[in-house]
A = this chain, B = another copy of it.
Amino acid sequence: MTRKRGLLVALTFTSALGFNALVAAQTAGALPSWNDGKAKQSIIEFVAKVTKEGSPDFVPPAERIATFDNDGTLWTEHPMYTQLAFALDRVKALALQHPEWKGQQPFKAVLDNDLEALAAAGEKGLVELVMATHAGMSTAEFEAIVKDWIAKARHPRFKRPYTELTYQPMVELLEYLRANGFKTYIVSGGGIEFMRPMTQTVYGIPPEQVIGSSIKTQYQIKDGKPELIRLPEIDFIDDKTGKPVGINMFIGKRPIAAFGNSAGDQQMLEWTGAGSGARLMMLVFHDDAAREYAYGPANGLPDTKFGTFPQSLMDAAKARGWVVVSMKNDWARVFGFEK
């Protein structure tokens, strides 16, 4: 057999048998951090259906789009969104250059560690914090700042880098879907440029498959070198009704599977579910104060400003057949560092 002939045989053989054999291999022993139950079963049945050639539910690989919220769906969002922790740390780091912040809200609240005053500043205050810490530098400079912070910052409860606070069952789910020909996307209310420096490493998701909120950037030539400068102006909010908008803008296809954990994800799941053919919509419910956090206010759990899961969302999930994942019952372990 010549080398060329061998290659042809190998390619033919791989395409004819390889894919199905790989799929079968992936299903046995798949999702080891998921307990047996309705949630795990829903995933495996859905994937089996849409990947079975000749089945009425078969979906060609190019259409196997799965979208994932990030905060609270793929990694921890309590006691506050990781990006908010970043913004607060940046305010402190930049305070010396901004003596006026000592007397100016919401900056004063941050410097005083006064979370009540910070909450009182509301969304307007939050936007001010983001603009003061996320704008005014080039995209390359911002990326370096994020990378530096994420390497050094530690979660207040778990005392570990935030990148270790990804949910092991969800990382397995991402890998399982990709092994079955899916393209996995993040669709998050978080900042697109805040997430991109880490998504490839922690989730196996490349920058071009990350959709998020953004501020405007401007092309400038500085010392003969082109730069994109981050402006203190909101460009796009990728949350609630913004999620279907962002999905349509970036992907131009409707997902067949969508995963979220809060009211911010409802429209993404609605949009996904409104397509024809087999669909999988899933919500992670944080009911595990021992291993992670418990919040709702659905099902009588404590209310929260970070990743609110209202009773109306729980009711919508039941009415529409969306799968609600109980972190406590459905996950054998939460984090990869657990033994």
Interface residues, chain A, CB within 8 Å of chain B? 3-4, 6-7, 9-11, 13-14, 17-18, 21-22, 25, 62, 139, 183, 192-193, 196, 206-208, 210, 214, 217-219, 221, 225-226, 228, 241-242, 244-245, 248-253, 267, 270-271, 274
Given contacts A10-B10, A21-B4, A21-B7, contact A228 B245 (CB under 8 A): yes
Known: A7-B21, A217-B248, A218-B241. 17 other contacts (CB 8 A): A3-B17, A3-B21, A14-B14, A139-B248, A183-B208, A196-B252, A207-B251, A207-B253, A210-B252, A217-B245, A217-B249, A219-B242, A219-B267, A226-B244, A226-B267, A228-B244, A228-B248
Q: How far apart are the CA atoms of A39 and B36 in the complex, in Å?
A: 59
Closest Cβ–Cβ distance, residue A189 to chain B (whole Å): 15
Please indicate the chain B residues that have their CB under 8 angstroms from the CB of A217 in the complex.
245, 248-249
Given contacts A13-B6, A245-B219, contact A208 B250 (CB under 8 A): yes
A-B contact pairs, 21 of them (CB 8 A): A6-B17, A7-B17, A7-B22, A9-B10, A10-B10, A10-B14, A10-B17, A62-B206, A192-B252, A196-B252, A207-B252, A207-B253, A210-B252, A217-B245, A218-B245, A219-B241, A219-B242, A219-B245, A225-B274, A226-B244, A228-B248
Please indicate the chain B residues that have their CB under 8 angstroms from the CB of A6 in the complex.
13, 17
Please indicate the chain B residues that have their CB under 8 angstroms from the CB of A196 in the complex.
252
In the complex, which of the residues B13, B25, B214, B248 contacts A10, with contact meaning CB atoms closer than 8 Å? Answer: B13
Please indicate the chain B residues that have their CB under 8 angstroms from the CB of A214 in the complex.
249
Please indicate the chain B residues that have their CB under 8 angstroms from the CB of A274 in the complex.
225-226
Please indicate the chain B residues that have their CB under 8 angstroms from the CB of A267 in the complex.
219, 226
Please indicate the chain B residues that have their CB under 8 angstroms from the CB of A10 in the complex.
9-10, 13-14, 17-18
Name the residue of chain B whose CB is nearest to the CB of A197: B252
Name the residue of chain B whose CB is nearest to the CB of A18: B7
Please indicate the chain B residues that have their CB under 8 angstroms from the CB of A242 in the complex.
219
Please indicate the chain B residues that have their CB under 8 angstroms from the CB of A270 in the complex.
221, 226
Please indicate the chain B residues that have their CB under 8 angstroms from the CB of A18 in the complex.
7, 10-11
In the complex, which of the residues B7, B9, B219, B241 contacts A244, with contact meaning CB atoms closer than 8 Å? Answer: B219
Please indicate the chain B residues that have their CB under 8 angstroms from the CB of A14 in the complex.
7, 10-11, 14
Question: Would A208 and B241 count as touching, CB distance under 8 A?
Answer: no
| Nearest 9 pairs of A and B residues by beta carbon | A207-B252, A219-B241, A10-B13, A10-B10, A10-B14, A208-B251, A196-B252, A226-B274, A219-B244
Closest Cβ–Cβ distance, residue A209 to chain B (whole Å): 8
Please indicate the chain B residues that have their CB under 8 angstroms from the CB of A218 in the complex.
241, 245
Q: How far apart are the CA atoms of A116 and B248 in the complex, in Å?
A: 37
Name the residue of chain B whose CB is nearest to the CB of A7: B21
Please indicate the chain B residues that have their CB under 8 angstroms from the CB of A193 in the complex.
252
Given contacts A218-B245, A244-B219, contact A7 B3 (CB under 8 A): no
